[in-house]
Amino acid sequence: MIKLLKLAAVNILVFLGILIFLNLTAISIYQLINFRIFPHTHTKTNWRLPNYKSIEWARNHFKEFGELRAEYRSYIGWRRLPYKGQTINIDKQGIRITPQSELATATSPLVVFLGGSTMWGTGVNDANTIPALFAKIAQGRYRTINLGESAYNAFQSFLFLKLQIINGLNPDIVVSYDGVNDAYSLKSGQRPFSHQREDQIRTLMKGKDRINEDALSFSHFFLNPLKVFISMFKNAKNPTYDLSQERIEQTAKALLESWLSTKDLAEKQGADFIAVLQPNAAIGKPYLKHLNLDKDENLLKLYKLFYPAVLKLLQAPQYQELSNNVIDLTDAFDLEEPIYLDHCHVSPNGNKIIATKIYKHINNSLDNKKKN
């Protein structure tokens, strides 16, 4: 009897050991291959691109970028945790710090910037994000705040802005910089307004009506990590997209409806609203000779279908009023110089172009208002 108990105990320990080994192996492999599967989010060697020639902080920036962590937040999905570095600084609310012009005062109008990782500033230090460069160009005429977050679509940005206004934020101008992340909801299995973590959360909650019902269960500790790893690997390695005309139109409508909601929210606060259709490597004629975008081929095809659908729908009667608040900057990088790091992220020279164009647009709009 004792021998049988010992044998059973040994078998149980071996079984548990194998499961632990598989979990650790899955996590390790995922970390090793993540650079290859997600080259645009794990940019450990991008500092070597010609974009960063003579930029001393570049290598350290990508090192710090790899150290960032995020946490789940209700409704908005996630925000990054506080971080203090030489090139990246994030406050307790998960908002990236934006250096202001020394000429700005507490009474300078506040420009709030919304968007995904391109607005947040993947690939640049705090001083070279779009909001920071805008503040520098404005020379005290405006203050700025960067509410961007990696992978956010326009609807998530709207929700985060709403929460910030409830907490006392009082914008004078709201700029929403979108397009790239909104197209991701064309991924098979997702829906309009889906965010990029929906698959991951769905996998964890599949078949459950309470999120904590198995918090201490065997499955939670030993099987869920493997399930999530397999799901993320499968979806990331061979993503497929629903490119039917109906789904493309639905997704384009989701973007425009998100902009409409943000516009209404801004105007209720007495703020002006500007929506920007952001550039990407598939649209226009940007310089791409320094990059290998073969791995992003499916994404580039996606944007070539999605962006024209957005611009076409924008001309529909129900969006006529919104169209007056939208600027199309998809050709902003049609220059003979390296700007892109991948299919959408850019180096400081790209952000300077965007910040300058938005600043000029705002000034022209204000001048026209005064004339009228």
What pLDDT does residue 335 have? 96
pTM comes to 0.85
Q: Phi and psi (nearest 5°) for 316?
A: -65, 150
pLDDT at 297: 87
Query: By three-state DSSP, how is residue 340 classified?
Result: strand
Domain extents in the chain: 38-188+239-371
Give the C-alpha separation, 327 to 185, whole Å: 22
pLDDT at residue 204 in the model = 67
Sign of CA dihedral 256, 262, 265, 268: negative
Contacts of 34 (CB under 8 A, 6+ apart): 42
The pLDDT assigned to 365 comes to: 79
d(CA 331, CA 339): 12
Question: What is the 3-class SS of 290-326, one letter each residue?
Answer: CCCCHHHHHHHHHHHHHHHHHHHHCCCHHHHHHHCCE
- Residue 242 phi, psi dihedral angles, 5° rounding: -90, 105
pLDDT at residue number 44: 61
Q: Which residues pair with 84 in a beta bridge?
A: 89
38-188+239-371: what CATH class?
alpha beta
Longest dimension (CA), the chain: 96
pLDDT computed for residue 306 by the predictor:
97
Q: Which H, E and C letters describe 150-208, residue by residue?
A: CCCCHHHHHHHHHHHHHCCCCCCEEEEEECCHHHHHHECCCCCCCCCCHHHHHHHHCCC
pLDDT of residue 39: 41
The predicted structure's pLDDT at residue 28:
53
Q: Which helix (H) or strand (E) covers residue 111, if one does?
A: strand 110-115
Strands 143-146 and 77-80: unpaired
DSSP state of 134: H
Let me know if 54 is exposed, middle or buried by CB neighbors in 10 A (0-12, 13-18, 19+).
exposed
The dihedral built from the CA positions of residue 145, 150, 152 and 156, taken in this order, carries a sign that is: negative
CA 284 distance to own-chain centroid: 21
Please spell the DSSP secondary structure of 48-95, one letter per residue: GSGGGTT-TTHHHHHHHHTT--EEEETTTEEEEPPEE-SS-EE-TTS-
Per-residue pLDDT of the chain (372 residues; tens, 9 = 90+): 677 666 666 677 776 667 566 555 655 544 444 433 334 444 567 889 999 999 999 999 999 999 999 999 999 999 999 999 999 999 999 999 999 999 999 999 999 999 999 999 999 999 999 999 999 999 999 999 999 999 999 999 999 999 999 999 999 999 999 999 999 999 888 888 888 888 777 776 766 555 554 544 445 544 555 555 555 555 555 578 899 999 999 999 999 999 999 999 999 999 999 999 999 999 999 999 999 998 888 889 999 999 999 999 999 999 999 999 999 999 999 999 999 999 999 999 999 999 999 999 999 876 666 555
For residue 256, what pLDDT is reported? 98
Instruction: For 187-233, write each residue's pLDDT tens digit.
Output: 888 888 888 888 777 776 766 555 554 544 445 544 555 555 555 55
Please check whether residue 284 is in contact with residue 300, taking contact to mean a CB–CB distance below 8 angstroms.
Answer: no
* CA distance readout (Å), 119 to 5, 50, 343, 354: 61, 22, 15, 10
